[in-house]
Amino acid sequence: MNENWGFLKEQLLSLIDYRLSSSSARWYQEQYMYNKLEIDGFTPHYPSDINGLPKGIVAETLFLQASRLTQRECFPCLGQEDIMGADFRITYGKQTRFFDVTVNFSERGFKKKVREGRFPSLFLPWKEEENNNGYKRSYAERYLRTGTINTEEYFANIISSNYKILDRLKRFFWKGQISDVDFDYSRAGIQYIKSLEGVLRLLRGCEN
């Protein structure tokens, strides 16, 4: 476990340093410096301990690592671009798309992220599918335990869940249909829908 944490820690700090070096906004610097100090001083005793770290940066690092493992041309955005709402850019063929990622599936988080004028958000799964004992561990926990990511399941979950969101956005925009009363789909317009569709198309295209 220590070896796996050592590698993941290195990747986490590398991403943070990249973002810090490419933005001069004070509030942004303070936020990432706090995350850096917390990660730098963290020592897990059990794989599940990693669930206590800031989920945002851990999820971004796992997504980046999973993308590399599957030869997806996905790259972290600069700190200045992150401030504007873009965490990553993905390239496939001659196309490039910028997008945000999040593990926040709350109603408030959804309302903040999914709206016209923003980069499209990919909602990332935090936990794996249930195992035979009914236990759902996080992808980060699995990585600490085994040093691996179940990339097939991981990207299948990302693509499936985000296509469901895209379908509901389209249904509301074109037909006024409300498929999920717990979330507000009314704030996204045609540009957001087209941008999300483009990101998902590139994400799937990399599988071919």
Mean pLDDT for back-to-back runs of 10 residues, the chain (208 residues): 93 96 94 95 94 96 96 95 96 94 91 94 91 81 94 95 95 82 87 96 78
Domain residue limits at 117: 2-205
Residues 6 or more apart whose CB falls under 8 angstroms from that of 112 comprise none
In the beta sheet, which residues pair with residue 95? 92
Tell me the pTM. 0.93
pLDDT for residue 179: 73
What pLDDT does residue 166 have? 96
User: Pseudo-torsion of CA 167, 171, 177, 180, nearest 10°?
Assistant: 20
pLDDT at 2: 87
How many structural domains does the chain have?
Answer: 1
| Nearest in space to 88 (alpha carbons), one of 166, 203, 189 | 203
Give the span between the Cα atoms of 40 and 149, in whole angstroms.
Answer: 22
Asked if residues 126 and 48 have their Cβ atoms less than 8 Å apart, the reply is: no
